[in-house]
Amino acid sequence: MVAIDGVHNDWRHLLLPLAQQDELVMDAVLTVSAFHFHINKLDNNFKKNQKQYSAFGTNTYDTYVPDPYQLLGRTLQGLRQRQELICNNQTTQHSVLISLLLLMTSVLVTGGSDFPVLLRMLESALDAIGGKEGLGTGILAGFIMRELHKIRVYAAPHLGEETGLQMISSQARTDQLFGCLNHCLQLYPEHTPLFSQVASLVYQARDIYLQQVLSDHTSNFFDLDPIPTNPESVARVQRFIEALEQFPETSPVAHMLVWTTFVAASDAQLEEHKVYFENVLRRHHARSGFGNLLKGIEALKRMWGRKPGERWTTLLPQTKVLVA
Say what the pTM is. 0.86
What is the rounded CA–CA span in Å between residue 206 and residue 140?
Answer: 29
The answer to whether position 157 is within a domain reads no
Angle at 24 between CA 20 and CA 28, to 5 degrees: 90
Final residue before a domain boundary, out of 104, 136, 168: 136
Give residue 10's pLDDT.
79
What is the rounded CA–CA span in Å between residue 301 and residue 221?
Answer: 21
Final residue before a domain boundary, out of 109, 136, 163: 136
How many domains does one find in the chain?
A: 2
The answer to whether position 220 is within a domain reads yes
Give residue 21's pLDDT.
95
Say whether both 212 and 306 belong to one domain: yes
The answer to whether position 171 is within a domain reads no
Whole domain around residue 276: which residue ranges? 179-319
The answer to whether position 148 is within a domain reads no
Give residue 64's pLDDT.
65
Q: Is 80 helix (H, G, I), strand (E, B) or coil?
A: helix
The answer to whether position 94 is within a domain reads yes
Say whether both 206 and 295 belong to one domain: yes
Give residue 205's pLDDT.
97
Determine the length of the chain. Answer: 324
Instruction: Kindly list the averaged pLDDT for each block of 10 residues, start to end, along the chain of length 324.
Output: 54 90 96 94 53 45 76 96 76 94 97 97 93 91 93 96 96 84 70 82 96 74 59 96 89 85 98 98 95 98 94 96 96
Final residue before a domain boundary, out of 136, 170, 204: 136
What is the rounded CA–CA span in Å between residue 125 and residue 84?
Answer: 11
Give residue 53's pLDDT.
40
